Chains A and B, each alone.
Chain A
Amino acid sequence: MKAFLFSLLALVVISVGANQILVRMEDAGAIGSTTSVNARVD
């Protein structure tokens, strides 16, 4: 039971931690949206 509860805790910690890292990387411009298009046809 303890192993299961620890796994749930790890699940939350890893998920939130990964999210925070990705958000900071996106804010820093290291990763991010490539879908913003302002097109011009020549």
Chain B
Amino acid sequence: MLRILAMISLFWAVALVPATAQEVADDARAATGGAQTLEDILRRQEGLKMDDSFRSDLTGDPDAAAASTDQLGTLGGASDPDLWRGLRYNAADVSTQGRGPAATTLIQDGGMWWLSFREGLLLSFGAYLMGGTLLALGLFYLVRGRIRIDGEKTGRSITRFKAFERFGHWLLATSFLILGATGLITLFGRKFLIPVFGPESFSTIAVGSKWVHNNISWAFIVALVIIFVVWVVHNIPDRTDLRWMAKAGGLFGGEHPPAKKFNAGQKLIFWSVIILGGSIAASGLSLLFPFEFNLFGHTFSTLNSWGVPGWFGAGDLPYPLQPQEEMQYTQLWHAIVSFVLLAIIFAHIYLGSVGMEGAFDAMGKGEVEEQWAREHHSIWAEETLGAKQSKEGGA
């Protein structure tokens, strides 16, 4: 008898266990009354994709509403949870007194990826890029040492940059460095400065940083225009750049390849500053005047129409974007491009100061040692000295 009972129990156990995963999920959902299950919550926490149509589709049914004269009919067929789901999935009919473009999006559920990216990967990317660049420059200094003037110094100097050129350079440099510092405070402050200074002190620092960052940006834009106008003629790529690049500019020893006023490395810096700096300025203006410029929606739409995402095996880029999404993409772009430009500028600062003998004089005094000019910018030096001699001869 016991054996028979055991077999019957085993049969029912085997018959009941192999339910499909969907059945299990449905049962679990039924057990929560149609709300999220533990599995849903865990998938969301792990950042996995989940089918949340059980929530997004459940935003009320006006057709099933009781008449407004009846009890429970005042919400038009939508309960409070239906209403909040409608707000979360942007399906609710919201009107606001504020007429801003983002005013009617009361809950932006899609912004969570931006928040986690901004708090995580973006900070890691920035820290590794800047730290890695500084480390690489330190190693380069240890291996190569300071790049000295090889020949004998002449004691004569040659004008490298006029006062207005130096003014434009320093306006750009100081504004960029201040923008970089205040930007880093804004980006890293919550994680690294609050634990050190406390929330109240950091609040003062953050408010000050924001004011400085927002207003100094105009000086950066003005300087960017000055630099472009003054130097663009000298930064058009030509054949001498190929020879310079082939010899890595003589950075690792060997002969100095000929160069005009700017060598290929400086031209790379120039165009990086103009293109990346221009992009930072454009995205910065978009952040300064929220919701006024839609930089990404139009871009994504154009890229989709060209089929660009498909080249990389990806699906279409999101379009249209909610106003908040525009700002989120803009913020990430602003920060990522700024990190890249900061890393490039670190290398520029290194070579313009401790990395190369005589280089700082070009921007410090505007005059450089003649031998330095002959070694690093031989074509320009010959032209300038030739013009100087013919002028003196003519006089």
- Tell me the B362-379 residues at the A interface (CB within 8 Å): 364-366
A8 contact set on B, CB distance < 8 A: 170, 174
| Interface pair B290/A35, CB less than 8 Å apart | yes
Please give the distance in Å from A11's CB to the nearest CB on chain B: 5
- The distance in angstroms between the C-alpha atoms of A20 and B97, with both chains bound, is 28
Contacts A33-B100, A34-B99 supplied; 7 other A-B pairs, CB < 8 Å? A1-B365, A7-B173, A11-B174, A15-B215, A15-B218, A18-B219, A41-B94
Query: Which stretch in B102-110, B188-196, B272-280 binds the other chain?
Result: B102-110
Chain B residue contacts of A31, Cβ below 8 A: 289
Chain B residues with a Cβ closer than 8 Å to the other chain, count: 43
A13 to chain B, nearest CB (A): 9
Q: Does A42 contact B (CB under 8 A)?
A: yes
B164 → A minimal CB distance (Å): 8
- A-B interface pairs (CB < 8 A), number: 95
Q: Main SS of the interface on chain B?
A: helix
In angstroms, Cα B220 to Cα A18, docked, is: 12
Closest-by-CB residue of A relative to B163 is A3
Q: Which of A6, A7, A37 makes the CB contact (< 8 A) with B106?
A: A37
Interchain CB contact under 8 A, B100 and A35: yes
Given A8-B174, A34-B98, A39-B106, A15 and B291 touching (CB < 8 A)?
Answer: no
> Is B228 an interface residue, CB under 8 A from the partner?
no
B83 within 8 A of partner (CB): yes
| Contact A38–B96 (Cβ < 8 Å) | yes
Q: Is the CB of A34 within 8 A of B218?
A: no
Cβ contact within 8 Å between A36 and B215: no
